A and B are shown apart, each in its own frame.
Chain A
Amino acid sequence: GESVGLHLPTLSVQEGDNSIINCAYSNSASDYFIWYKQESGKGPQFIIDIRSNMDKRQGQRVTVLLNKTVKHLSLQIAATQPGDSAVYFCAEEADSSYKLIFGSGTRLLVRP
């Protein structure tokens, strides 16, 4: 079956350092992936997305990398700030069904 999971449940980084959050997926037919950020008590917020015909996409301070060979997705945050502290979820779309399958999340803690 389809599954999306994360390697590290908690990641602690020093303010100003770069953060890398990893995600593995199992459905090789998935062609759309999204990263969300969720702060405590709030709904998830869209960060960045990528389609399977790309291997890298950049936003403001964030980069998503997609390795289809090993079915791995990562989110890189440059110059991590205290406001980046949150839980980050990756999600994949199954077969253009408009149904996103979410991973279990990684908590990012930024040390001052």
Chain B
Amino acid sequence: SQTIHQWPATLVQPVGSPLSLECTVEGTSNPNLYWYRQAAGRGLQLLFYSVGIGQISSEVPQNLSASRPQDRQFILSSKKLLLSDSGFYLCALTPGTGNEKLFFGSGTQLSVL
């Protein structure tokens, strides 16, 4: 079965600093990959999704970007963090075999101070 690795689990960054969150997956090939953000006590907002290497779709205009340099690697980045970028960031996948079930990683809690 597929496994999603996200790190770090928690991160505290100053305003204006860069960001790089990495997500790697195992146990599946050609997955669809997603980045979601969850504000405290709120639902999940889709930020980016990717159906293949180098293919990124952005769902909302924002201060963040995503890249997929390898089939099983998905990176979330920012050049300059804002206070509003704080939140719980979740990487997720669908196996891409017609199975639409979304599997989530363990998340990264980002605090921008």
Contact = CB atoms under 8 A, between A and B. Distances in A.
Interface of A: 32, 34, 36, 41-46, 49, 89, 91, 93, 96, 98-105
Contact of B109 (A41, A44, A98, A99): A41
A43 B101 contact: no
Contact of A100 (B42, B46, B51): B46
Contacts of B104: 36, 43-45
B51 to A, nearest CB: 8
A40 to B, nearest CB: 10
Nearest to B32: A98
Interface string B6-38: 000000000000000000000000001010100
Given A32-B100, A49-B101, A98-B100, A104 B42 contact: yes
B94 to A, nearest CB: 6
- The secondary structure that dominates the B interface is strand
B102 interface: yes
A99 B46 contact: yes
26 contacts: A32-B100, A34-B101, A34-B102, A36-B104, A41-B109, A42-B106, A43-B90, A43-B107, A44-B44, A44-B90, A44-B104, A45-B104, A49-B101, A89-B43, A91-B102, A98-B49, A98-B51, A98-B94, A98-B96, A98-B100, A99-B46, A99-B59, A100-B100, A102-B44, A102-B45, A105-B41
Nearest to B92: A43
Closest 4 interchain pairs by CB?
A: A43-B104, A104-B43, A102-B44, A102-B43
